[in-house]
Amino acid sequence: MTLSTFKTPVTIVSGFLGGGKTTLLGNLLNQTHDRTLALIVNEFGEVSIDGPLLETREDGVELHDVHGGLLAYGGEGDAFRRTLHALKDRRHTFDHVLIETSGLAVPTAVMVTLEEPEFSSDFALDATLVVVDTPLLLAGAFSAEAAEEAARSAARVFGAQLEYADVAVLNKIDSLTDADLLQAEADVRHRAPRVRFIELAYGARLDTQLTLGLNLHGRRSAAHQAPVSGAPGTLAQPLHDHSALDGHAHGDLDAHVHSLSTHQHFHEHDPGWQSFRLTSDDAQNVPELVRTVQNVARVFPVLRVKGFVQGEDGGRHAVQAVRSRVEVHPAPVNADAANELIFIGYHVSRKKVTEALQRALPQRWA
């Protein structure tokens, strides 16, 4: 294949808020030192938190942050196209492009953009992955019949992410039983029967052979053929000759001509998803901060909290919360020195959350 005909493969990684996309990608970067990668990261928020968490390699990765909205949609679509054009001019210096979409984005608009004439001769969609927070899935957090409006909206976004995925990655599974995993697979198959593969990510890790170079869109085929899977009641086994498979391909997007308008629908008709940033100048009592964030998530419709804080012990900490489940890890050395937390929720009040922090903590947050 000549340089003029070679297309740089692109993998889209989607998944609802807090599913573990960034952790999985960080682990992937540490397994691919033999490849040169371009990584585009989109965050729903005022500032980028995921970017510093992904700068895990000193060379071979070029990181592009497109934060503040949703990739390939509205004003952010212009920024995304500019990034693609910049990569296009140097695409032969990359082995692969990875795109991490916002947890509130549906990947269809990115897929459509890659099919446009200005990009289709240079980039080829390799696969679309959706990272699943398996414990939340099993707990019914994505039920379309939920009483809470936030849960119903989350179910709609998560359902659309699954619908357009080639590979569903069951994440956060280390403490789950085989019965749990089979139930999770059945749930995914019920929601999205055209998902091609279901993979297991122990420790938020996937073998690169199950992530990059799948070539699931390399052949045109009927988009509504039956999925490839294992026997009933078993997890799908990875097949190495992915290029020989048919089914759920989007080579011509015939079955998804509505996709861009579908993506637009999510954000024109559901403006309830909001994000805001709070900062503090004071060193934090980290255990006390964790308890406060947990209580805030229980009282208010906060689904995601992430950021960096300076502890009273002098250490820098990365805070990651999904609903009331909060984890704290050492922050990367390239993280900003400021104390900042990004809150994402559904019709969540910045004022009320700030007041709750002020009542519970001696440090001032604003």
Which residues are CB-contacts of 257 (< 8 A; sequence separation ≥ 6)?
A: none
Which residues are CB-contacts of 139 (< 8 A; sequence separation ≥ 6)?
A: none
Q: What is the DSSP letter of 91?
A: G
- C-alpha distances (whole Å) from 354 to each of 20, 271, 365 are 26, 21, 7
CA torsion, ordered 88, 207, 71, 332, to nearest 10 deg: -100
- pLDDT at position 272 is 85
- pLDDT at position 241 is 36
Backbone CA torsion sign across 186, 178, 32, 2: negative
In angstroms, the CA 187 to CA 176 distance is 15
The segments of the chain whose pLDDT lies below 70 read 1-5, 44-59, 67-77, 219-270, 333-337
- Strands across the sheet with 37-43, in order? 61-67, 37-43, 96-100, 8-14, 123-133, 167-171, 197-200
- pLDDT at position 120 is 93
Give 100's strand partners: 13, 41
What is the set of domains in the chain, with CATH numbers?
Answer: 8-268 (3.40.50.300), 273-360 (3.30.1220.10)
- pLDDT at position 110 is 87
Q: How many CB atoms lie within 10 A of CB 152?
A: 16
Name the residue type at position 244: A
In angstroms, the CA 246 to CA 116 distance is 23
Query: Which string of DSSP letters, residue by residue, matches 190-232?
Result: HH-TT--EEEE-GGG---GGGTSS--TTSS---TTSPPP--ST
- C-alpha distances (whole Å) from 309 to each of 51, 286, 294, 323 are 16, 8, 16, 19
Backbone CA torsion sign across 300, 303, 307, 311: positive
- pLDDT at position 77 is 56
Give 253's strand partners: none
- pLDDT at position 125 is 95
- C-alpha distances (whole Å) from 67 to each of 62, 88, 150, 229 are 16, 20, 22, 36
- pLDDT at position 223 is 37
Give pTM, 2 decimals: 0.81
In angstroms, the CA 184 to CA 172 distance is 12
- pLDDT at position 278 is 95
- pLDDT at position 363 is 94
- pLDDT at position 91 is 85
CB 353 within 8 A of CB 291: no
